[in-house]
Structure 1
Amino acid sequence: MVFRALETAFRGLMAQQRAVDTANHNIANANTPGFARQRVQLVPSMPYTVPAFNRSGLAGQVGTGVLVASITRVRESVFDLQYRVQSQALGEASAQVDAYAQIEAVFNEPTEAGLGALLDRFWRAWQAVGNQPEDLAARAALVQDAATLATNLNRMRRQLGELQADAAMKLSLQVSEVNSIAQRLAALNQQIVAALATGQTPNDLMDQRDLLLDKLANFTGVTIRTLPNGAVNLSLGGYPLVDQDQWFPLAVQVSGGTASIRWQGTNSPVALERGSLQALLDTHNVILPGLVQKLEAIRDALANEVNALHSTGYGLTDPPGPPPGRPFFVVTPSGDLEIEATIAANPQLIAAADAADEPGNNTLARAIAELRSKLVLNGNTATINDFYNTLVAEVGGASQTAQVTRENQRSLVQAIDRQRQEIMSVSLDEEMANLVKFQQAYSAAARAITAVDEMLDRIINGMGLVGR
């Protein structure tokens, strides 16, 4: 019986030691990202049944101490699921905000250097030539304002194209990050399954896996399925991204100006569920090409309408006879808008008149200046200036919507995370209290062993000496 008491006290000593170790582990990881506090589950060990043929007045079972049943993570999977679902929308909105911030920098509105102000200066320059068609200074100013307008329009087109290339690069970087996360998740699955198979509880490995799942949610949503062996399988659009200890990489493909994400090796398209990857695809394939197309519509309308009138007129030095048919603007094979070379070199060739040898004739100059109010775009329902102003308003509105969505999603994600942290985060005050409690229990168990040791000493060394 004395030896059983020694074993009981020893079990208590070991159990409290595990509890102290767990409290120390929690304190050490109080600031570790993704760490969920751990708790020791203590249960009574199997009681000892006193053998007897008949029930007597003695207790039929005697307690044998305490055991550590498990060390569990304090974590709520419902909040994890909500956090990851809302993180998808936050990642998508954040990517949209970044994209529209760059687009707004390209448009640079409303400023004196913006395309809207340059269009106004261009029309006013034609009006000035119409007021004084023989004034060479007014003609030179028109060439300068037209060149500035064309240069700015070309710059905007090129910068939007650069943003499209930048979106493709960001897409590749984020897909590489997704592949890296998938590879690490597969490796963690292998370690977790191996640990569980030997009866261990790999809490820290599971925390690392959950942290990676949180990060993955910013890029895209995945379907998560936990297997009986402890591994988690991830799938995108019904196809596996992680299957236990295997992972299947993604790749970015850009063809014909359209980007797509495909399964590496099979070339099958990947079905994304929101997240920053989807926002980058939309930016590359829809938003930026649409803006470039509208700028090209402004370019073409400007060139076509001005040239249609200008080619029927005469410059100051043009001889009598048929009009020279000289265009004012030229669209190069690369898509740039330029002033016709001879006009850029000699502003006297600007066709302000509808007849030759009439220096004061301003008919065409005034007609071109009046193009400002002509409905030539959007199915002949908008002027060039109105079309551009509407385009700027659409960009600003979309940017504002993305910002509002991001702030709303950020608040929601933070609220959910606060609920998660209230459950899983380490409270230093609580852990210190637990540490004192377990330390006192450990000391009591050690004192019990000392008492049993004294009892054994009395039995072994003190009994049987009487009468010697």
Structure 2
Amino acid sequence: MGSTFMGLETAKRALFTQQSALHTTGHNIANANTPGYSRQRVNFGTTTPFAPAAMNQPQIPGQMGTGVEASSIQRVRDSFLDIQYRQETNKLGYWDAKSNAISEMENIINEPTTNGLSAVMGEFWQSLQDLSVYPENDGARNVVLERGQSVVDTFHYLNDSLNQINDNIGNEIGVSLDSVNSLLQQISSVNSQISDVEPHGNIPNDLYDRRDNLVDELSGYIDIRVTATKSEGDPAPEAEGLYNISIIGANGKEEILVSKDNHYQLGFSNGSGNLSTTTPDDISQLAIFSSEGKEIVSKKLPIADENGNPLFSQGGLRGLIESYGYSYEDDAGNTQEKGTFPEMLDNLDRLAFSFSQTFNSVHEKGIDLQGDTGQSFFTNLGGNHQNASKLISMSDITSKEIAASTTTNADGDVNAGDGKNAVNLSNIQNWLMNDTAVDLEGYDGDETLDVTGFNRLGSASMNSFYEGVIGKLGVQGLQANRLAGNSEVLQQSVDEKRMSVSSVSLDEEMTNMIQFQHAYNAAARNITMVDEMLDKIINGMGLVGR
């Protein structure tokens, strides 16, 4: 038969176990508003029954239960929802970075409004048309000069502003890399703390939460894969182990960033093989460095392939890099550049170059008020369109030197009433830039101009080219905003599901508290009952006959 004191031990175990459950419930309630906290629960399990199966077990009707124990305290978490949340956070980080960059660009370009480049150039074309009606009027001529200067100033403003915003994005890339490396270091540190706890059979739930919060934040910058490695020693079955974190490129290639006993850093090489998070003017690749900041030569992370297709990991960091611009080497070994801001700046340079050079060529064919052949209206930018929107400027031309006419009279003096070259100048906006022979008005015989030497716009006219650039920007902005919004909705949806599993419900905790309190009171009452039985046996036996 069992021990007389067996019931007392069973009740004692119940007291301790229900007390642990009450303490855990209190911990949940205390952290109900703690960001990233996962509610915890006590896993109850029956203790070894009496008598255990053995050759010398006592002859009793069957095994009797010996009570309950708290086998473990485990956090409630769904790893599948964690994976989903990180995937959506990664997409949101990418599209949010793209959306913000394009939004900044749209604010600068400011089209279509009365203050954008198209409106300024429209005023310039109109001033030339007005001049064609009154070619001898000095006021109309001064308006042309002022409108021309406005076009130059607008090109300069757009170039300076876009470059300034792009420099800010470059700084943001460096800040993001610092954040990534800080997160990697912190995750590795938490890994180390977990590795000190798990081998002893303990389950560090709060450390798990802290690590998962860091991983969630990291997933917004880069695409990662998380795998777990079992700790050494004798960890509990519920122990989650140590995280290994890899960065995943767009080509599916993985590189380890955090292992169970080490971590690496991400950045640019400073030329001496040491880590740098200062964004260079030309980004072609990132590299993985040791925890001490030394470059690991075998671990390069190219940004794009030979066709310019991104290879770098999806996420906020890639969104910033694609906006800032990156370079790659094509099949022919030539260095090419892509990116939202570099492409816009290049389009502005092409427009400024084609506009100024074509305008000069037509202006130089005309005749000014002094009877001289026209000179350059804008400074000569040479044969290269690069930085044209920055370098374009007005030449030292006076109002009388504007070549608005095409003919002279019989005395060789300028025909003051002839403003046909001003008409030619105003028509430039609609010329197709791949035309080899553009007809000019007002000249004796057929006068044509081959503008292909100044063409950097393809088969488009100046107006249609700029409209195409603005249209493309609008579509890109709309797509980025839409996908950023979609990603945010999906992230919130997954987060709500995750919170429904892991977050603290005060109503549920209060219910559990009452449940565990009643169980505790019942166990205490059971001890009282056993105590009364023992009192009867100890103090009531041997009194027969008295």
TM range, smaller chain: over 0.9
Residue pairs, 1:308-319, within 5 angstroms: 308-317=361-370
CA spacing shift, 1:53–1:310, aligned 2, 3 Å:
closer
Matched, 1:441 2:522: no
Q: Distance in 2 between matches of 1:274 and 1:380?
A: 33
Q: Distance in 2 between matches of 1:169 and 1:275?
A: 17
1:335-390 Cα offsets, whole Å, 9 max, x none, are 322111x22xx311111123563133323212111112111256652111111111
1:417-464 Cα offsets, whole Å, 9 max, x none, are 222222112221111111001011111112222333344444444544
Q: Distance in 1 between matches of 2:367 and 2:56?
A: 130
Deviates more, 1:153-162 or 1:291-300: 153-162
Deviation at 1:165, TM superposition (A): 0.9
Deviation at 1:306, TM superposition (A): 0.6
Question: Which residue of structure 2 lines up, in the alignment, with residue 370 of structure 1?
Answer: 427
Question: Which residue of structure 2 lines up, in the alignment, with residue 336 of structure 1?
Answer: 391
Deviation at 1:171, TM superposition (A): 0.7
2:287 aligns to what SS in structure 1? strand
Q: Distance in 1 between matches of 2:169 and 2:259?
A: 30
1:95-129 Cα offsets, whole Å, 9 max, x none, are 11101110000101111110111111111111111
| Aligned length, in residue pairs | 460
Given that 2:322 and 2:340 are in contact with CA atoms closer than 8 Å, whether structure 1 keeps it comes out as yes
Deviates more, 1:404-413 or 1:99-108: 404-413
1:338 aligned partner, one-letter code: S
1:275-303 Cα offsets, whole Å, 9 max, x none, are 11111111111111111000000000111
Q: Distance in 1 between matches of 2:495 and 2:62?
A: 51
1:353 alignment partner, one of 405, 417, 431: 405
Question: Which residue of structure 2 lines up, in the alignment, with residue 105 of structure 1?
Answer: 107
Given that 2:171 and 2:278 are in contact with CA atoms closer than 8 Å, whether structure 1 keeps it comes out as no
Deviates more, 1:377-386 or 1:196-205: 377-386
Q: Distance in 1 between matches of 2:172 and 2:495?
A: 27
Given that 2:369 and 2:402 are in contact with CA atoms closer than 8 Å, whether structure 1 keeps it comes out as yes
Question: Which residue of structure 1 lines up, in the alignment, with residue 273 of structure 2?
Answer: none
1:254-313 Cα offsets, whole Å, 9 max, x none, are 445336432232264336321111111111111111110000000001111010111233
1:210 aligned partner, one-letter code: D
CA spacing shift, 1:158–1:227, aligned 2, 3 Å:
same
1:218-271 Cα offsets, whole Å, 9 max, x none, are 111112111022101011243221112421111246445336432232264336
1:16 aligned partner, one-letter code: Q
1:243 aligned partner, one-letter code: S
2:393 aligns to what SS in structure 1? strand
Normalised by the length of structure 2, the TM-score is 0.80
1:289 alignment partner, one of 342, 355, 364: 342
Alignment root-mean-square deviation, CA: 2.2
Point out which structure has higher relative CO (alpha carbons under 8 A, 6+ apart): 1
CA spacing shift, 1:36–1:254, aligned 2, 3 Å:
closer
Deviation at 1:206, TM superposition (A): 0.7
1:201 aligns to what SS in structure 2? coil
1:166 aligned partner, one-letter code: N
1:269 alignment partner, one of 280, 297, 300: 300
CA spacing shift, 1:123–1:435, aligned 2, 3 Å:
same
Matched, 1:413 2:491: yes
Question: Which residue of structure 2 lines up, in the alignment, with residue 307 of structure 1?
Answer: 360
CA spacing shift, 1:366–1:172, aligned 2, 3 Å:
same
* Structure 1 runs not aligned, ≥5 long: none
Deviates more, 1:451-460 or 1:360-369: 451-460
Residue pairs, 1:198-213, within 5 angstroms: 198-213=200-215
Question: Which residue of structure 2 lines up, in the alignment, with residue 141 of structure 1?
Answer: 143
Given that 1:167 and 1:280 are in contact with CA atoms closer than 8 Å, whether structure 2 keeps it comes out as yes
Matched, 1:246 2:223: no
Structure 1 segments (4+ residues) deviating >6 Å: 50-55
Q: Distance in 2 between matches of 1:244 and 1:348?
A: 79
CA spacing shift, 1:53–1:131, aligned 2, 3 Å:
closer
Deviates more, 1:327-336 or 1:268-277: 327-336
Residue pairs, 1:456-467, within 5 angstroms: 456-464=534-542
2:531 aligns to what SS in structure 1? helix
Q: Distance in 2 between matches of 1:462 and 1:184?
A: 66
* Structure 2 runs not aligned, ≥5 long: 232-240, 248-252, 268-276, 302-310, 326-338, 382-386, 434-454
Residue pairs, 1:5-154, within 5 angstroms: 5-49=7-51, 58-154=60-156
Deviates more, 1:250-259 or 1:40-49: 250-259
Q: Distance in 2 between matches of 1:220 and 1:82?
A: 15
Q: Distance in 2 between matches of 1:140 and 1:460?
A: 121
1:353 aligned partner, one-letter code: S
2:220 aligns to what SS in structure 1? helix
Question: Which residue of structure 2 lines up, in the alignment, with residue 214 of structure 1?
Answer: 216
Matched, 1:389 2:444: no
1:158 aligned partner, one-letter code: D
Q: Distance in 2 between matches of 1:380 and 1:401?
A: 26
Equivalent pairs: percent with the same residue?
A: 33
CA spacing shift, 1:347–1:29, aligned 2, 3 Å:
same
CA spacing shift, 1:263–1:134, aligned 2, 3 Å:
same
2:282 alignment partner, one of 233, 240, 257: 257
1:179 aligns to what SS in structure 2? helix
Matched, 1:232 2:243: yes
Deviates more, 1:103-112 or 1:42-51: 42-51
Given that 1:253 and 1:261 are in contact with CA atoms closer than 8 Å, whether structure 2 keeps it comes out as no
Deviation at 1:59, TM superposition (A): 2.6
Deviates more, 1:66-75 or 1:395-404: 66-75
Given that 2:171 and 2:279 are in contact with CA atoms closer than 8 Å, whether structure 1 keeps it comes out as no
Given that 1:167 and 1:284 are in contact with CA atoms closer than 8 Å, whether structure 2 keeps it comes out as yes
Q: Distance in 1 between matches of 2:191 and 2:68?
A: 32
Deviates more, 1:438-447 or 1:450-459: 450-459
Given that 2:120 and 2:150 are in contact with CA atoms closer than 8 Å, whether structure 1 keeps it comes out as yes
